[in-house]
Amino acid sequence: MSQRIYITGLGVISAIGNNVPETLASLTQSKTGIGKIHHLTTRYKDEFLAGEIKLSNEQLADLVNDHNPDLNRNSYIAMLAAKEAVQNSGIDTADGLRTGVISSTTVAGMGKTELYYKELFEKDDHLSVLDTHDCGDSTERIADFLGNVDYVTTISTACSSAANAIMLGCRMIKNGLLDRAVVGGVDALSKFTFNGFNTLMILDKEWSKPFDENRKGLNLGEAAAFLVIEGEEALKKRNGKALAEIVGYANTNDAYHQTASSPEGYGAQMAIEQALQMSGLKPGDIDYINMHGTGTPNNDLSEGTATRAVFGDKVPRFSSTKAFTGHTLAAAAAIEAVISVLSIQNDMIFPNLNFTTPIAGLDLVPETSLVKTPVNTVLSNSFGFGGNCSSLIFKKVSA
């Protein structure tokens, strides 16, 4: 009953591109999307950098060709990325097979709620923001946009959210509940999240430097990324083409602190080990690790320690691509899954920008420029507040 799960479509919109080809171009040209803040309204506009999508809400509405006033930035970008993934895969949601939409988000409609919340107490004009504030809203917008969707749900496990959406999609197909699923995550920038991370004092005012001894924190970004995953039976039925296979996944909890990761990276280590175990691969079989690598002192130390614990002195080539996109929270694991598949498809490892000095005691050196090398297997890590740790393993489809 347990069938293999294939990725057959990719879709993404982020600071480094409005679609997959643009994203790949930025990655290969080492072109970061993080810069001065243009769209977000905040008093810190000139003080901090962010990885914004380079389109206004008006332009996004034009792209999805829907000017319904109830749509917000989260929904626009989710619809665009999900549509790209579906078109890329070539699936037809009306063909009678069971399609699920499994999305994830942390900020949901807050980006719009925060614009009107105070005004709501005085006048009725924007009371409808209450209906689009919750996390399920953008998921149902995707489902209605694609049409003929049999199943919807939404996950929110902070910065590991999309990894869990991908994992759930795999499990539902394997358990015979769905034939295929559009899985991923979305988080548009909001003043709320920006200020939240600022109170935690983990935002770097300059470009973030993942895995660098002198890293100061993260840059926030915004993105939506979705993948179409299909069970081998559904794929065979329509004679579709697989881009990569998902061979391992695991979800654990660090259970150490509400926000911080344990210094020894216990939860992260377990997630990596359990994902490896499921895939049947040995640590030495991994060609590339796409790290969570946020650039905060705490995350990179913890993740680095866990990486050392699993891989010893034979750590595979690795990088964090968050210095390209910024930390896109719920979307992070999905955009990094897309990047992992691009890595496999193109036999390329994308660089860890802004790195100069290894973390003392760990001596982990990421790839700092584009590497062309055969990439058959990729491990991708995602960790979040609340101790949520998830790891995914992708594999090239043998010809």
Partner 1 sequence: MDALIEKLKGQIIEQLNLAEVKPEEINPDSPLFGEGLGLDSIDALELIVLLEKHYGIKIEDPKDGKTIFQSVRTMAEYIKSQGKS
Partner 2 sequence: MAKAYINGTGCISPQDSINSQWFFDPVTPPSGDYYNAKEPSYKEFIAPNLLRRMGRAIKMGVAGANLALQQAGATKVDAIITGTGLGCFEDSERFLLAMLNNNEQFLTPTSFIQSTHNTVGSQIALIMKCHDYNFTYVHRGFSFESTLQDALMLFSEGKESVLVGGIEEHTPNFVELNRRAHKFKTYDPAIPFWKSTTPGIQMSEGAAFFVLGKHKTERSMATIEGVQTLYKPKSSDVILKKLSAFLDSHGLSLAQIDVCLMGFSSDVNFDVHLKELLPEIEKETVAAHFKHLSGEYHTASAFALWTATKLIEKQELPEVLAISDRKPSQIRHVLIINQYLGINYSFTLVSKC
Binding status of residue 213 toward partner 1 by CB under 8 A: no
- The least distance separating partner 1 from the CB of residue 201, rounded to whole angstroms, comes to 5
Site map 171..210 versus partner 1, x via CB under 8 A:
----------------------------xxx---------
- Does 381 help bind partner 2 (rule: CB under 8 A)? no
325 binds, among partner 2, partner 1, none (CB under 5 to 8 A by kind): none
**CA angle, residues 169, 341, 50, in degrees to nearest 5:** 90
39 annotated active-site: no
Smallest separation (angstroms) from partner 1 to the CB of 43 = 15
Our answer to whether residue 159 is catalytic in this structure is yes
Q: What torsion do the CA atoms of 198, 201, 204, 210 make, to the nearest 10 degrees? A: -120
* Helical pair 297-311 and 266-279, crossing angle rounded to 10 deg: 40
Task: Kindly give, in sequence order, each residue whose CB lies less than 8 Å from that of residue 321, ignoring residues fewer than 6 positions away.
Answer: 27, 290, 293, 335, 336, 339, 350, 352
Based on the residue annotation, tell me whether 133 is a catalytic residue of this protein.
no
For position 172 contacting partner 2 by CB under 8 A, the verdict is yes
Report if residue 29 touches partner 1, rule: CB under 8 A. Answer: no
Least Å from the CB of residue 30 to partner 2: 33
- Exactly one of 135, 170, 327, 389 is catalytic; name it: 327
Per rule CB under 8 A, count of chain residues that contact partner 1? 7
Min separation Cβ 22 and partner 2, Å:
30
* Pick from 73, 8, 3: nearest CA to 338: 8
Give the angle subtended at the CA of 56 by the CAs of 74 and 86, to the nearest 5°.
Answer: 50
Q: Judging by DSSP bridges, how do beta strands 348-349 and 151-155 pair with one another?
A: unpaired
Q: Is 257 in the site for partner 1 (CB under 8 A)?
A: yes
In the region spanning residues 231 to 290, those forming contacts with partner 2, defined by CB under 8 A, are: 251-259, 266-267, 270
Does 214 participate in binding partner 1 (rule CB under 8 A)?
A: no
290 Cβ contact partners less than 8 Å away, ≥ 6 residues apart? 318, 319, 320, 321, 336, 339, 340, 343, 378, 379, 380, 381
Q: Kindly state the number of chain residues that form the binding site for partner 2, as judged by CB under 8 A.
A: 65
Cα radius of gyration (the chain): 20
Binding site partner of 254, from partner 2, partner 1, none, Cβ cut-off 5-8 A by kind? partner 2
State which of residues 200, 309, 362, 371 lies at the interface with partner 2 (CB under 8 A): 200
In sequence order, what are the residues at sequence separation of 6 or more whose Cβ sits closer than 8 angstroms to the Cβ of residue 323?
32, 34, 207, 208, 209, 210, 219, 295, 352, 353, 354
Residues paired with residue 399 on neighbouring β-strands, in sequence order: none
| Residue 123 token pair | 């006048």
94 or 255, CB closer to partner 2?
Answer: 255
| Among partner 2, partner 1, none, residue 260 binds (CB under 5-8 Å by kind) | partner 1
Which conformational region is residue 351 in: left (phi greater than 0), alpha (psi within -120 to 50 degrees), or beta? Answer: beta
- Closest CB to partner 2 among 94 and 130? 130
- Which two structure tokens, joined as six digits, stand for 137? 């809203």
Among 39, 54, 66, 152, binds partner 2 (CB under 8 A): 152
What are 224's two structure tokens? 């939506």
The least distance separating partner 2 from the CB of residue 342, rounded to whole angstroms, comes to 28
Contact status: 360 vs partner 1 (CB under 8 A) = no
Selecting among 135, 159, 170, 389, the annotated active-site residue is 159
Site for partner 2 in 24-53 (CB under 8 A): 42-44
Among 135, 364, 375, 379, binds partner 2 (CB under 8 A): 135
**Cβ contacts of residue 188 below 8 Å, gap of 6+?**
53, 72, 73, 74, 77, 107, 111, 222, 224
Nearest CA to 183 among 197, 171, 192? 171
The SS3 assignment for 180 reads: strand
Residues near partner 2 (CB under 8 A) are 42-44, 105-106, 108, 110, 113-114, 117-118, 120-121, 124, 127-128, 130, 133-136, 139-140, 143, 149-158, 164, 168, 171-172, 175-177, 191-192, 195-196, 198-200, 251-259, 266-267, 270, 384-388
- The catalytic residue positions are 159, 292, 327
The residues of the shown chain that bind partner 1, judged by CB under 8 A, are: 199-201, 257-260
